[in-house]
Amino acid sequence: MSDAYRPYTLVAELTYRCPLRCVYCSNPLDYARHTDGLATADWLRVFREAEELGVVQLHLTGGEPLLRDDLEALIEGARALDLYTNLITSGIPLGRERLARFRSLGLDNVQVSVQDVAASSSDRIAGSRAFERKLEVARWVKELGFPLTLNVVLHRENLDHVEQIVALAETLSADRLELANTQYVGWALTNRRALLPTAAELDRARRASAAAHARLRGKMEILFVMPDYYSEFPKACMDGWGRRFIVVSPDGLALPCHAAHTLPGLSFENVKDRHLEAIWGQSGAFNAFRGEAWMPEPCRSCERRALDFGGCRCQAYLLTKNAAATDPACSLSPDHGLIEAARQEALSAHSGDFEYRAPRPGVRK
């Protein structure tokens, strides 16, 4: 494979289990079907195969990776491969001693998520009493000498709190703040009516973030990720299908993105059956949306096709039932009306009625 297809990042979804029930969880709706199928030795082999392929960044995530009691061994193995290892966690359940062990084993960065700036609103989104414990974990992260990334997923219930979120990140001495607007796949699509903001709400938040970005330059990195629904052109989802990322699901499927296994018609191979290099280079699923031959119009002749690669395949499928369609988030897509209708819907009052992440979808609360 040429350098155009070199993975830099392995996203290791160690388990889909999680004590939280966030209403925008990016795990698939049928996550409970994908049990933890990889043993410690399997994961360590996957890390090694990934590193040989060119991966230098490792995200240990889930679900909640802390639920794996072999996390120590995985961190140690990752460090031995010189991977830049980032633990992406809710912070629950975690004691200070375990976090200190992670530090001594060579973990590079800890990313803690909070859902808002106050316990009541944050816990409402998480579907769990978690906020105060998360803040305690974030403080330990810094006390133990780790760099801290604070991640907050934005939506209409917290978009107006960007200034307070920045203040919280400053109080915690976060090194990086991710203000990531909800992307409407998985559970977030289920809850879109309650989460999708209006253009005006989004604009205020973006301006608040830009002001903080300028003020804190060189001190705290602030990343504001626009929701696709309000972008004129789609994002280069995962930097393009099968170009820079490999996601491995808890049951061992090697995927180009977190939700790829929800696309019909593609069969994903398991890291237990085949070497990662062969899967990356040869599997039908990884090659399905590489290059431009798969692209329909208007992508195929679009001057932006090498910038956004046609956008998000999962979003295309979820909204149009065709995974090879132009991402409807693109203003040039023939299906863009679907996005405009959702924006229109966001202008009317919302219910705040969530469906929490649960093993069997469809139970509203």
Partner 1 sequence: MIALDSRPRLAAKARIRFDRKTARYLLLYPERGLVLNPTAADIAKLCTGEHTVQAIVERLAERYAPQPREQVERDVMSFLATLAERGLMQAEP
Closer Cβ to partner 1, 33 or 219, answer by number: 219
Establish if 147 lies at the interface with partner 1 (CB under 8 A).
yes
Identify the residue among 218, 232, 303, 363 touching partner 1 (CB under 8 A).
218
Interface pick for partner 1 out of 8, 19, 226, 274 (rule CB under 8 A): 8
Contact between 145 and partner 1 per CB under 8 A: yes
Hey, what are 62's tokens?
A: 């889930």
| CA distance linking residue 212 with residue 77, whole number of Å | 37
Distance, CA of 240 to CA of 289 (rounded, Å): 8
Q: What is the rounded CA–CA span in Å between residue 252 and residue 46?
A: 9
Q: Interface with partner 1 includes 296 (CB under 8 A)?
A: no
Given the complex with partner 1, which of 129 and 219 has the nearer CB atom?
219
Which one, of 97, 184, 162, 94, lies nearest residue 134 by Cα?
94
Per rule CB under 8 A, count of chain residues that contact partner 1: 24
Residue (of 232, 230, 211) closest to 222 by Cα position: 211
362 binds partner 1 (CB under 8 A): no
Q: Does 217 bind partner 1 (CB under 8 A)?
A: yes
84 binds partner 1 per the rule CB under 8 A: yes
Told to check if 219 binds partner 1 by CB under 8 A, we report: yes
Residue 183, interface with partner 1 (CB under 8 A)? Answer: no
**Paired tokens of 219:** 């001190």
Measured from the CB atom, the residue of 183 and 262 that comes closer to partner 1 is 183
Provide the minimum distance between the beta carbon of 84 and partner 1 in the complex, in angstroms, as a whole number.
4
CB 28, CB 58: distance < 8 Å: no
3 touches partner 1 (CB under 8 A) = yes
Smaller CB separation from partner 1, 31 or 245: 245
Report, in Å, the least distance between residue 143 CB and partner 1: 13
Would you say 111 or 190 has its CB closer to partner 1? 111
The reply to whether 295 sits near partner 1 by the rule CB under 8 A is no
Residue 318: which of 257, 270, 269, 360 has the closest Cα? 257
Nearer to partner 1, 185 or 220 (CB): 220
Residues 6+ apart with CB under 8 A from 178: 111, 149, 150, 151, 152, 223, 225
The Cα-based distances of 302 to 193, 324, 333 in angstroms read: 32, 15, 11
- Strand, helix or coil at 148? strand
User: Do 114 and 7 contact (CB within 8 A), yes or no?
Assistant: no
Q: Are 86 and 113 in contact (CB under 8 A)?
A: no
Closest-CA residue to 26 (of 340, 299, 357, 325): 357
Tell me which of 66, 166, 220, 271 binds partner 1, using CB under 8 A.
220
Nearer to partner 1, 220 or 237 (CB): 220
Where does this chain bind partner 1 (CB under 8 A)?
A: 3, 6, 8-9, 54, 56-57, 82, 84, 86, 108-109, 111, 145-147, 149, 175-176, 217-221
